[in-house]
A and B are shown apart, each in its own frame.
Chain A
């Protein structure tokens, strides 16, 4: 179903719930995996994903369609991820290094994470990056999004995004290289 059809169903009070259900089913996996790569833990990703769609439901009447629906939802999910990580830092009064350490330990202990050694090492390398740089890297490397799409979501210039991504790749490669 096209975005405009989905929106029409949601904005009609008779079909609002049905339309919103269709929207969730259409975008839940993409949003969940985007969130999961940032927060690592499944239960946290579940919370953040649900909060994202609740915000979508709350604000969809005001969606002006000046961007694609997916871009708008992705932007909400991105903000929810960053807010979640920021709250995590404040809650435990930990500097960023310790939060990264906590997320890194989740990679080792979580029942819903499996991967070979190099994949685990890559994820731990990513956790060394600042949250926003990690975000850009995930969208470019894992989601294969264009710089223009990422620019629309993060409200950052394409040039800045390119620089951020190439810098992230360099840091990861240094981390992965044997000493």
Chain B
């Protein structure tokens, strides 16, 4: 039987001329092509800039001043008187419907009644009105 120890230890493999001179640069070129596109300094800044931006946006949204809803008076104050009169005149709603649709508070009712019943009419004015309308008071 042929013994392994009787066989001279030789390599049968060869390489192209200059192969090992070129191999390091070939490897470096492949390593460089696998590097990330962003420079280390830029990626470092980005790593902190993005979270900071997100936090700033959250703070702006969280702490922004809330806008209180306007009251009816605020809304009406912003509308021209002529526009209001035109609207009321052209509205097909009857007075009773308007009143029923309105949500008057106790203060609103008191203020309206006060405005109505605070009309100061003396007897002379009342007599004049009675003559105009041809009816007698206290019948």
Show the binding face of A for B, using Cβ within 8 Å. Answer: 13, 17, 20-21, 24-25, 28-29, 32-33, 36-37, 40, 42, 46, 49-50, 53-54, 57-58, 107, 112-115, 118-120, 122-123, 141-142, 169, 172-174, 176-178
Contacts and interface: CB of A to CB of B under 8 A. Distances in A.
A24 B30 contact: no
Contact of A24 (B1, B8, B24): B24
A24 B23 CA distance: 8
B9 interface: yes
A84 B25 CA distance: 23
Nearest to B5: A169
B24 A25 contact: yes
A57 B35 CA distance: 11
Given A20-B28, A54-B30, A177-B1, A115 B23 contact: no
A42 B15 contact: yes
Given A20-B28, A24-B24, A29-B20, A172 B12 contact: no
18 contacts: A20-B28, A20-B31, A21-B28, A24-B24, A28-B20, A32-B15, A36-B13, A37-B11, A37-B13, A40-B13, A42-B13, A46-B23, A49-B23, A50-B23, A57-B31, A172-B4, A173-B3, A174-B1
Contacts of A58: 34
Contacts of B23: 24, 28, 32, 46, 49-50
A42 B27 contact: no
Given A54-B31, A176-B2, A118 B7 contact: yes
A17 B13 contact: no
A169 B4 CA distance: 7
A112 B12 CA distance: 8
Contacts of B97: none
Given A50-B27, A54-B27, A57-B31, A120 B12 contact: yes
B27 A33 contact: no
Contacts of B3: 173
B14 interface: yes
B128 interface: no
A57 B27 CA distance: 10
B115 interface: no
A113 to B, nearest CB: 5
B26 A50 contact: yes
